[in-house]
Structure 1
Amino acid sequence: MVVGVDHKHPELARRAASLVQSLGGSLIELVCVWVDETAVSDSRGFTVSVDPDIAVSSDAYGADVLAGLNRAMADVGLPWTALRGAGDPATELARVADEMGAAMIVVGTRQPGLRGWATNLVGGTVAGRLIHNQPRPVLVLPETTSAS
């Protein structure tokens, strides 16, 4: 199962793991993919930042995501790995799912507020693009609220 994660919602992978476990799965591997939208990869797999303020080579930018993911997945009880992608999240998640032979892709809901609305207006949501452009099921987990 491929799970799209970001720096604001590292717990999404843990929630996906809980769902798998509640359905009786224990041997499913979660492949957690963080896609850096500020970077692009060339044909050799070398990743460079398109934002001059972010130095990809220092990896401090991605280290925060991995640290949050490690905290969220510390005692999850399922095998998992983390990958870093670059570019368009929908394209990258579909590519990783194809390479891994994933049965499903799990993503979160779009960002709330003006930025989420503008992103949806311009390019659509990651979930929407995945649903329409590749053959495997896409599960969209809503954000948790403090009342949950």
Structure 2
Amino acid sequence: MRSVVVGVDHKQPDLPRRAASLVQSLGGSLVEIVCLWVDETAVTEPNGFAVSVDPDIVMSDDRYAADVLDGLNRSMADVGLPWSAVRGAGDPARELARVADEVSAAMIVIGARRNGLRGWATSMVGGTVAGHLVHDQRRPVVVLPERTLGDEDAA
């Protein structure tokens, strides 16, 4: 079974479902969707444990992680493909590449950068996740816009 790694962003909760739809439209029925959400406020220690850079945040009791998993369970309930959820820490591009290597992913799917001033500022300071992946990745990177043609037809 092949895997497709999908970057999860709370601003685009339907992204994993749209990635599954893309995979199915390309004839992929023997594919597992690996949903990865990355806590950018955490770092991974040499022993493999993720710890927050903010001492007030307890990683093992994180409401954000529970909310993300809850949203994934709702969004992916009836997609018709097996899926799993993985949590990463630190740099999203590095974590997506790491997980893709671990599962020998066929491709990585991410959402387009956020609109507005914050998205612009983030891309100006550190670049975009897509930009980092496209230049450093050996596998295809698919960037899904917030709305696809199928979404517009339904509106």
Determine which of 97, 100, 104 is the counterpart of 2:100: 97
How large is the Cα RMSD of the aligned pairs? 1.4
| Percent of matched pairs sharing the same residue | 74
Is the deviation greater in 19-28 or in 88-97? 19-28
SS of corresponding position for 2:31: coil
Task: Please list, as runs of the form range in 1=range in 2, the aligned pairs for 1:1-148 lying within 5 A after superposition.
Answer: 1-144=4-147, 147=152, 148=155
2-structure distance, mates of 1:18, 1:58: 32
TM-score normalised over the length of structure 2: 0.90
SS of corresponding position for 2:54: coil
Q: Shift in Å at residue 51 of structure 1? A: 2.5
1-structure distance, mates of 2:82, 2:115: 31
2-structure distance, mates of 1:111, 1:2: 20
Where structure 1 has 5 or more consecutive residues not aligned to the other structure, the ranges are none
Q: Shift in Å at residue 53 of structure 1? A: 4.4
2-structure distance, mates of 1:53, 1:7: 21
Q: Shift in Å at residue 8 of structure 1? A: 1.9
1-structure distance, mates of 2:138, 2:88: 20
SS of corresponding position for 1:107: strand
SS of corresponding position for 1:29: strand
2-structure distance, mates of 1:50, 1:9: 25
TM-score normalised over the length of structure 1: 0.94
Is the deviation greater in 37-46 or in 77-86? 37-46
2-structure distance, mates of 1:88, 1:139: 18
How many pairs does the alignment contain? 148
**Structure 1 stretches of at least 4 aligned residues deviating more than 3 Å after TM superposition:** 145-148
2-structure distance, mates of 1:16, 1:51: 32
SS of corresponding position for 1:10: coil
Where structure 2 has 5 or more consecutive residues not aligned to the other structure, the ranges are none
SS of corresponding position for 1:31: strand
